[in-house]
């Protein structure tokens, strides 16, 4: 197969290692799906969310909440009270 200048072959399953994850490492997949279903796609989106509302999401556990809160803290951000 010949390629023209600027073309590249794209292989199935080729993922970039530089892809930024929407939520911190350690947040379970069920918790990530619960957040996405509630409209939260990135960690920064959670600054508008109340902790009790997130805790009520099906799939969101206390460990995930702790990880999310601890990830916001170094940025000077937090969940709403």
**Residue among 43, 44, 58, 52 nearest 81 (CA):** 52
Q: How confident is the model at residue 2 (pLDDT cuts 50, 70, 90)?
A: low
Q: Indicate whether 36 belongs to any domain.
A: yes
Q: Does residue 10 fall inside a structural domain?
A: no
Is 76 a residue whose pLDDT tops 50? yes
Domain count, the chain: 1
Asked, for residue 11, whether it belongs to a domain, the answer is no
Identify whether 52 is part of a domain. Answer: yes
Judge whether 20 lies within some domain.
Answer: no
Question: What separation in angstroms does the CA of 56 have from each of 12, 17, 31, 42?
Answer: 38, 33, 11, 19
Check: CB of residue 73 under 8 Å from CB of residue 41.
no
Q: Which residue has the tokens 């600054």?
A: 47
CA distance 26 to 9: 33
Q: Does residue 24 belong to any structural domain of this protein? A: no
* Domain span at 36: 29-75
| Residue 69 counted as domain residue | yes
- Considering the domain boundaries, does residue 42 fall inside one? yes
Least confident of 7-11, 21-25, 62-66: 7-11
């Amino acid at each position: 197969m010949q390629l023209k200048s600027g073309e590249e072959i794209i292989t199935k399953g080729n993922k970039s290692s530089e892809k930024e994850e929407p939520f911190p490492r350690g947040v379970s997949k069920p918790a990530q799906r619960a957040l996405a279903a509630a409209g939260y796609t990135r960690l920064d989106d959670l600054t508008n969310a109340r902790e009790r509302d997130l805790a009520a999401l099906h799939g969101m556990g206390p460990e995930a909440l702790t990880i999310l809160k601890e990830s916001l803290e170094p940025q000077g951000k937090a969940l709403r009270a």
